[in-house]
Structure 1
Amino acid sequence: MRIPKVGWVRFRWSRPVEQAKSFRVSRDVAGRWHVAFAVIPAPISGPGTGAAVGVDRGVTASAALSTGELLNVPPLWETEKKRLLRLQRRLARAKRGSKRRSKAKTAIAKLKAREGDRRKDWVEKTSTDLARRFDVIAVEDLKISNMTRSAKGTLEAPGTNVRQKAGLNQGILANGWGQLVIRTGHKAPGRVQMIDPRYTSQTCNACGHIARESRESQALFLCVACQHQDNADINAAKNHRDTAAGLRGGCAGRLAVGRAGEPRTSTRPPPCGVVAVGILCSSGRGGCQLQVELFKVGVGFVVISLLTVMEGELCGETLRT
C-alpha cells in the first residue's frame, strides 16, 4: 500500500477486499494503526418467507427479540474489570506529565479498545444473523444522542441525579444501540422499519391494553387487564413486530389507563400498514379480519387482494409498499 508522503507500507489483510475505491489510515487510542478500504458491500438476502422480528434495545439486555431471545454484548471479564479499576486508581494518583501516568493511560486505552472490539464483533455477527433470518426487522426509533445527553446542567441551573444519568448513558453506549441499527440497515437495505417507541413498553401484546402499572419491574410485564405475563423487553419487541406488520391493536380501539388509574378509550388511530406476510390473521377481539397475498418484488413487497370484513361490510383494497 502506498501512502502519500510516506511511501510503500506493508500491512496484514484481515479479509479479502474486492473493488476498493479508496482507503483511510487511522490510529486508535490504544496506539494501533488501521487501514480501512471503502467498499460497497453486497446486501444479505433474507429467507424470502416474510418472517418478521421485533428488536427492543436495552441496558440489562442489549437486544431482546420477539422470538424470545435475549442477546448481550460480551463485557469485560471480571479479572479485566479489576485490572481496569486498579489502573484508574493508579492514574488518579500519578502526577501529570509523568511516565507512570502515560503508562497507565496506555494500559487503560488497551482495555477499552478490547471492550470496543468485542462490541463491534457482536454487532457485526448479530446484524448478519438478523439479516439472514428475517425479511422484516422492526426497531424502535430512539434519539440516542438526546438520550445520552449529560444531566450536569449549568451553574445557574444545575442538574439532578447526575451520577445516575451518567451511569445510564454509559450503559446505552456500551451496548451499541446505534451501531446495531446502522449495520443491520447496511446489510438488509429496505427491510429495517423504525417504529414509534411511545407506549410500546406499556402495551400488552396479548390484549392491547395500555397501562403503566403493567410494568411490574424492569424485567417483568404483567398485564393488569388480562394477566398476561412476559419478559418486559420481549413484550415490547413483540409490539414492534406487530406494529411493523400492521397487526398491533387490530382495528378496534384500545384502552389506556390515565394518570388517575381510570380506564379511558385511546384517542390514537388504529395502526395501518402491511399485515404479516402470507397468512390469514384475525385480531381475535371483534376487530377485523385480513386476508393477504404477498409477492416479493426486488427488496419490497406487493400486497394484493386485501380483503377487509368488518361489521358485515365488504371492501377491497390494493396496497403497495
Structure 2
Amino acid sequence: MKIPKVGLVRFRWSRAVPDGVKSLRVTLDRAGRWHVAFAAIPDPIPAPGTGEVVGVDRGVVVSAALSTGELLNSPGLRDTEKIRLLRLLRKLARAQRGSNRRGKAKRAIAKLRAREADRRKDWVEKTSTDLARRFDVIAVEHLKIGNMTRSAKGTVEAPGRNVRQKAGLNRGILAAGWGQLVTRLEQKAPGRVQKIDPRYTSQTCNACRHVARESRESQALFLCVACGWQDHADVNAAKNVRDTAAGHAVAAWGGRPLGGPVNREPQRDLLPVG
C-alpha cells in the first residue's frame, strides 16, 4: 500500500477487503505493533426467522450466560502468563524511572495486556456473530458499565471503603467484555437487541416469579425459597431477561412486569400470555 509522505509499505493480509474501499488508517498499539485498517462497513447479519428469543446475563465469573443454559467465558491470560505478568509488575515497581530496565518491563507488560485484549476481542466477535445468526431477538440487561466501574477511592477527607476489592471487581467487569459484546451485537443485529431493566432479574424465580434475595444461594446456585425451583443462578437471570423481552407472564401475574419488587399471587381468572 502507498502511504502519503511515507511511500510503499508492505503488510500482511488478515482478511479480504471488500470492493469500493477508498481510505485506510495506520495505527501503532501499546505493544509496538503496527496495524492498517481499511474503512468498510459490513452488511448486518440477517435474522434466522425462527422467532427465537434469547436472554443474556453478563457476569464476572461467567462472562455471558444464555437462557438456553449455555455458559460462555471470555478467555484471558493463562496461569503461566498471569505469573509472568505478576513478576513483570514487581520488576517494574523496583526499576528506576527512565532506566532501560523499566522500559523493557513496560514493553513486556504491554505485550501481555495486548494478548489478553486480542483474545477478548476475538471472543466478542465470534460470540456476537453466533448469537446474531441463531436468534431473532437478543435480550440483554441495560447496565451502566461506566457507573459500575467507577473508582471507590474517594477523597482524602472522605476515603472510600473496600477500595482494593472494588478495583478487582472493576478489572473483572472490564475483562469480561460486557460493553464490547453489546456494542457488536447492536452493529451486527440492528433493531434486534433489546435492553431490559436489570432490577430483580437475579432475585426472581423463573418458575413461580417469587422475588427473594435469599433464593440466590451462591454465585452459581439459585434455589427458590417459595417453590424449590433450582437452576444455575446466571441462567435463571438470563431466562428472566428473555421472558421480559418476549412479554411473557405479564398478564398472568396481575399485570406486574417481571422484575418488580412486590411478590404477588397469580390471579386465577387470567390466562397466561404466550
Classify the TM-score, shorter chain: over 0.9
Match for 1:240: what amino acid?
A: V
- Residue of structure 1 equivalent to 2:25: 24
With over 3 angstroms needed to count, the CA separation of the structure-2 counterparts of 1:121 and 1:286, relative to structure 1, is farther
How far apart are residue 89 of structure 1 and its match? 1.1
- What is the distance in 1 between the residues matched to 2:158 and 2:79? 39
Once the two structures are superposed, the pairs formed by residues 54-133 of structure 1 within 5 Å of their partners are 54-133=55-134
Q: Do the aligned partners of residues 206 and 286 (structure 1) sit closer, same or farther apart at CA in structure 2, a change above 3 Å counting?
A: farther
Q: CA deviation at 1:70?
A: 0.4
8 A Cα contact 1:54 1:238, kept in partner: yes
In the alignment, the residues of structure 1 paired with residue 268 and residue 15 of structure 2 have an alpha-carbon distance, to the nearest angstrom, of 53
Deviation at residue 290 of structure 1 after TM alignment? 4.1
**Residue pairs, 1:248-259, within 5 angstroms:** 248-253=249-254
More strand by share: 1
Which residue in 2 is equivalent to 1:247?
A: 248
Paired residues of 1:256 and 1:264 also in contact (CA < 8 A): no
Asked whether 1:181 is paired with 2:182, we answer yes
The reply to whether residue 5 of structure 1 matches residue 35 of structure 2 is: no
Choose between structure 1 and 2: higher helix proportion.
Answer: 2
In structure 2, the CA distance between the partners of 1:288 and 1:21, relative to structure 1 (3 Å rule), is farther
**How far did 1:157 drift?**
1.5
Shift of 1:217: 1.2
Q: Deviations over 1:238-286 (max 9, x none)?
A: 001000100044432369998xxxx7549xxxxxxxxxxxxxxxx9965
Q: Is the 8 A contact 1:185 1:192 kept in 2?
A: yes
Question: Which letter maps to 2:109?
Answer: I
The equivalent residue for 1:201 is: 202
Other-structure match for 1:277 = none
Counterpart position of 2:229: 228
Aligned Cα root-mean-square deviation (Å): 2.1
Hey, what does 1:288 align to over in structure 2? 271
Structure 2 SS opposite 1:128: helix
CA distance in 1, matches of 2:39, 2:124: 19
Cα gap change, 1:65/1:27 in structure 2, threshold over 3 Å: closer, same or farther? same
Contact 1:128/1:187, CA 8 A, preserved across alignment:
yes
Distance in 1 of aligned mates of 2:218 and 2:75: 24
TM-score (norm 2): 0.93
C-alpha distance in structure 2 between counterparts of 1:230 and 1:97, whole Å: 54
With normalisation by structure 1, the TM-score equals 0.80
Give the distance between the partners of 2:268 and 2:8, measured in 1 at CA. 70
Structure with the larger RCO, 1 or 2 (CA within 8 Å, 6+ apart): 2
Whose Rg is larger?
1
Where in structure 2 are there 5+ consecutive unaligned residues? none
Tell which deviates more after alignment, 17-26 or 216-225. Answer: 17-26
Cα distance in 2 for residues equivalent to 1:13 and 1:284: 62
Measured in 2, the distance between the counterparts of 1:93 and 1:207 equals 57
CA apart distance, 1:46 = 2.3
Letter in 2 for 1:174: A
Aligned to 1:279: none
Once residues 248 and 176 of structure 1 are traced to their aligned partners in structure 2, the CA distance between those partners, rounded to angstroms, is: 31
Alignment deviations for residues 93-147 of structure 1 (CA, whole Å, 9 cap, x no partner): 1111111111111011101111111000000000010011100100000000010
SS of 1:251 mapped into structure 2: helix
Q: 1:9 to 1:98 in 2, by over 3 A?
A: same
Q: Within 1, Cα distance between the matches of 2:204 and 2:77?
A: 35
CA distance in 2, matches of 1:256, 1:24: 45
Report the residue type matching 1:78 in the other structure.
D
Secondary structure in structure 2 of the residue aligned to 1:75: coil
Count of residue pairs the alignment pairs up: 271
Matched AA of 1:8: L
Aligned 8 A contact 2:200 2:259 in 1: no
